[in-house]
Structure 1
């Protein structure tokens, strides 16, 4: 009999935590990382104290949202690898990865910036890089993907989609899809294709680039 109220409280606490997380992800997607814990509480329709009981600092909340976002991208990559056609799998992944970066400003700032990335990005890269390499190498070996496309091009394509979404999303929220389609078309392997004039960033260069951007907020 004594345990029942405790279980009820734990359930309520977890519901509140998930409610705060969902509200924060939605708010950060729109406003980016400039949103505060007070903003999150207002957006979630809960008291500020409820947010601070679940997440003592903004960094704790960012950590939880980032982990959730990376889990989502890892799941996309794993699903893409299960598709029998390697080109279809790669296209499916790129389109959905770009949807995330084009529509979720907060996740984009977390992944691509030194201000909110750091160690989190390193851990995410360890999980994602092998999967993305498999997607790229499989499509390249099957003759679908031009030979000079590298796995490190995929995050850059995501950033390009995000930039288009941030710049023109208020005019047409789907316009990023046009440019992703153009990029994918350019990635296909064709006879007599002219090699790209510039190499892809290697992993060290990608690391340096991601730690060089410091967005406002």
Structure 2
């Protein structure tokens, strides 16, 4: 299931660029929690907490319980992180508040199992991942850490579709139909370039020498 992470925050009173700059001067990252038809909540975060989540990877699929100091704890998704163009430090974070019973739209990574024993791969085929992650709608408490596709005994040329994905946990894909997730592609044939050496030809005699040879 999806990982739930608690993150501490301080409340901010003022909005706008000037207030955001003041927050950054204090060594904090301005952020906002919006959604669920409620008023937006302005907060400030420790930049180390933000970077910790960035380095983990998969943050867009995690649930965050944002604990506002002297305020509520709000269940959210981290939707966007803006970085300084030169320093590569976080400048602003957007969180989406989750309403009870609300389905969330998340991207879940796809993993493939059985590659070591798959006959198609043994014959030289390669797993061609059409989707490295799948965007789905699902219950916040039922988000899988990943979707699994078992390669099984399928050979070269076989395609795996959404119906082949294991343990969907009730997730519904944003893309319609039983679309292709991956296939076992044939090995790439590298054509060797044949370089043909030029045929040496006898040099034509100089005009002067040719004239002397004829009498």
Q: Given the two structures, how large is their TM-score scaled by the length of structure 1? A: 0.26
Query: Which structure: greater helix fraction?
Result: 1
Query: Which structure: greater strand fraction?
Result: 2
Higher RCO (Cα < 8 Å, 6 or more apart): 1
**Structure of greater Rg:** 2
Q: Given the two structures, how large is their TM-score scaled by the length of structure 2? A: 0.26
